[in-house]
A and B are shown apart, each in its own frame.
Chain A
C-alpha cells in the first residue's frame, strides 16, 4: 500500500552562508505497509516520526528516497498526481482543537474535501456529511455546531470523519489520542480499530505511547534520530526487544502497581540535536551497552532476520553467523 524507500527529509536552518546548517529530521528510512494493516511508528519527540507521516502526504518537501503509494511512484508530484494522492491518503492530527478551523461549522469542515474532489453539492452533500458523522458516532445535530462547542473526543471524531470522507486507502494518524483524556483515548482507539476492520483502511499510526501501539498495530518500527533502529511484529518487539533503545523505551513505561519492578537505571540525558548528529551509532551517547571504539566510530549495520530488523553492533556477529 505504502512503501517508503531510503526516505530523507532534511531542512536547512539558520542564515545563508557559513551559519547554514542541515537538520536531518528523517535520514534514510525504509518501510512498507501492506494493505489493510496498522503499522506503528514509535519514538521520542524529535525522532522524526511525525515528519515521515507528513512526507508521505507531501506536506513537507522530500529531500531524497522514494515514496510509492498503491504501486504509484509519488516521490515527485504534479497537479494531477497530487489530486490522486489527496484522495488516497489523509491525515488525523494530534490536537483536534487546532486541526479544525474555528470559524467553520462542522458541516463545512467535513464537507471541504468532498467539495474539492467530488461533484456532491447541496442536499446530497449534507446527507453525505451526516452519514460520515454517523460513521464516527456523532448525530447530525452536530452539523451546525462550531468546534469550540464540542469536547476533545467529539472534535477528534469530526477530524476522523473529515479524513475518511473521500474513502482513502491510507490514514496517517499522528498521535491521534495523546491530546485526549485517558477515558476518551480508549473510546477513540476502539473506534479506530473497528473503523479499520470495517473500511479496510491502512493505518500509519504515529505515537510515543507504546501501550496504544501494542493495542492497535500488528507491526511496529522504533525510530531514533531520523532512523529506524528496530522493526518487527509488535508482540515480538515488545516481548523480546533487541535494540538497547527499545529496551530502554519499554523500561520507561510506568507500571500500575504500587511497587515498581526493578528495571535498572532509566535512560539518561536527552535526544541529541538532529543538526549535530553523533558519529558512529546515533544512540551511542545514551546507550548502556556502548562498545568503546566501535559504536562511536562505525555506523551500525542493518540486520534483517526472522525476528525483524535491528540496527545495532551487538547483533552484527549473530546476524553474520546466521546469514
Chain B
C-alpha cells in the first residue's frame, strides 16, 4: 500500500510537469501579443517593448519556461496584467469559491443520485425505473448553461425564490478569511445571516452544475446494484433471514458503492474544471470566471496559475480515490 502510494505520488509530479509544459507552450505560441495588450491601445512601440522586457517576454520560450518553473517553486506565481494583483492572491480569492460550489454540488448529486440508483435497481424495468432513466438521459444531454439560464428565469426572476447570481449581496461584509471557504468561515465566526445568505446564493448554480454528475452517479450505481443483487451472497443473506432493507441498503450498496465512488471522484475533478459555464451564467466569482477573463486578455500568468491549481486538484482527487478504493476493498488492498 505504501509503495503504491509513493509510486502514484511520483507519477503525479511528472504529470504535473507535462501539464505545465503543454499549457505553457500553447499559451506562448498563440498569435497575440500580451505586451501590446497590457500596454493599452494608446501605447507606442517603445512602451510596448518596455513591457515586453519587464515581463521577460523577449526571451526564448524554453528559457521563459525554466524561469517560470523556478518562480513557481519559490512561490512567485507572477502578476496578473488585468487585475494587476499577484496571481497567488487572486487564486486564493477565487479558487475557494469554486471549491465551495463544486463540493456543494457533488454533495447534492450524491445525496440524490445514490438513493435513486438503488431505487432504479430494486424496481428494475418498472415505471419508477423508467422515470429515473428519463431523468438521467436528460441530465446527460442538457447543456449546463441552458439549464442555468432556465433556472434563473424561473426560480430567480419569475418566482423570486433565489437571487439571480453572485456569491453574497453587495452590501454584506464577507467574514474574515480562515479557511477561505465563505460559508465555513461565516459559520466559524457565528455570522449565521451571512451563512444563510451564502447558502441562498449557492443553490441555483450548484443544482445546475450537479446534473451531469447526478446522471452518471445514478447510472453507475444502478448498474452496480443490479450486478451485486444477483450475487449468491445476497441470496444467502435472504436465506439467513436478513431483512430486505438491510440487504439492499447495507450489503448490496456497500459493494456497489466502490465503482460509484470512482465515478464521484472523476466527476468532482471534471466539475472543478467545468464550472466556467455555470460561473459565467451565475456571475460566480470562481476560478473558471477568473481564467476566462484572463484568457480573453491574453494574460498568461493567471491562465497558467489556474491550470496548475485545477490540474493539481484533479490529480489529487483521482489519487485520493485510488487510495480510498484500496482501503475499502480488501481485494484491491492486497493487490497493490
> Which of chain B's residues has its CB closest to A100's CB?
B233
Interface residues of B in 76-103 (CB under 8 A from A): none
Q: Taking CB as reference atom, which chain A residue is nearest B238?
A: A59
Question: How many interface residues does A have (CB within 8 Å)?
Answer: 27
Residues 184-232 (chain B) with a chain A CB within 8 angstroms: 231-232
| A101→B241 contact, CB < 8 A | no
Size bracket of the B interface:
10 to 19
B232 & A57 in contact (Cβ 8 Å cutoff) = no
Could you give, for residues 133-172 of chain A, a 1 whenever the CB lies within 8 Å of some chain B CB and a 0 otherwise?
0000000000000101100000000010010000000000
Knowing A103-B254, A146-B330, A149-B334, the reply to whether A98 touches B240 (Cβ < 8 A) is no
- Could you tell me if B334 and A101 are in contact, using CB atoms closer than 8 angstroms? no
Tell me, yes or no, whether B236 is within 8 Å of chain A by CB. yes
- Inter-subunit contact A86/B235 (CB<8 Å): no
A86 to B242, CA, bound (A): 10
Point out the residue from B240, B251, B329 that lies within 8 Å of A90, measured CB to CB.
B240
Q: Mark A97-114, 1 if CB is under 8 A from B, else 0.
A: 011111100000100110
Q: A82-B241, A86-B239 are in contact. Are A99 and B334 (CB under 8 A)?
A: no
Q: Please tell me which one of the listed residues A57, A112, A146 contacts residue B237 in the complex, with CB atoms under 8 A apart.
A: A112
CA gap between A146 and B329 in the complex, in Å: 10
Query: Are B242 and A103 in touch, CB under 8 angstroms?
Result: no
B239 is contacted by which of A57, A95, A100 (Cβ under 8 Å)?
Answer: A57
A98 touches B334 (CB 8 A): no
A59 — which chain B residues lie within 8 A by C-beta? 235, 238-239
Q: Mark B311-336, 1 if CB is under 8 A from A, else 0.
A: 00000000000000000111100100
Most-contacted residue by chain B among A83, A103, A148, A162 (CB, 10 A): A103
How many whole Å from B19's CB to the nearest CB in chain A?
36
Q: Given known contacts A98-B231, A148-B330, A149-B334, is B255 in contact with A103 (CB within 8 Å)?
A: yes
A73 to B242, CA, bound (A): 22
* In the complex, residue of chain B having the shortest beta-carbon distance to the beta carbon of A99: B232
Out of A57, A94, A98, name the residue touching B233 (CB < 8 Å): A98
**CA–CA, A98 and B242, complex, Å:** 18
Q: Is A102 a contact of B331 with CB atoms below 8 Å? A: yes
Highest count of chain B CB atoms <10 Å: which of A83, A94, A109, A113: A113
- Given A82-B241, A116-B240, A117-B241, A103:B235 Cβ within 8 A: no
CB distance from B296 to the nearest CB of A (A): 50
Instruction: Give the complex CA separation of A57 and B240 in angstroms.
Output: 10
Given A146-B330, A149-B334, A99 and B239 touching (CB < 8 A)?
A: no
Q: A91 to B239, Cβ gap below 8 A?
A: yes
Interface string of B50-82 (1 = CB under 8 A from A): 000000000000000000000000000000000
Q: Counting CB contacts under 8 A, is A93 at the interface? A: yes
Inter-chain contacts of B329 with A (CB < 8 A): 102-103
Measured between beta carbons, the chain A residues less than 8 angstroms from B242 are: 112, 116
Q: Provide the bound-state CA to CA distance between A164 and B254, in Å.
A: 26
Show 27 residue pairs from A and B whose CB-CB distance is below 8 angstroms, ordered by the A residue: A54-B235, A59-B238, A86-B240, A90-B240, A91-B236, A91-B239, A93-B236, A95-B232, A98-B231, A98-B232, A98-B233, A99-B232, A99-B235, A100-B233, A101-B251, A102-B330, A102-B331, A103-B328, A103-B330, A112-B237, A116-B241, A116-B242, A146-B331, A148-B330, A149-B334, A162-B236, A162-B240
Nearest 10 A/B pairs, CB to CB:
A86-B241, A99-B232, A146-B330, A98-B232, A93-B232, A113-B240, A101-B233, A148-B331, A91-B239, A98-B231
Interface contacts beyond A102-B329, A146-B331: sample of 8 additional A-B pairs, CB < 8 Å, sorted by A: A59-B239, A90-B239, A91-B239, A99-B233, A100-B233, A103-B328, A103-B330, A162-B240
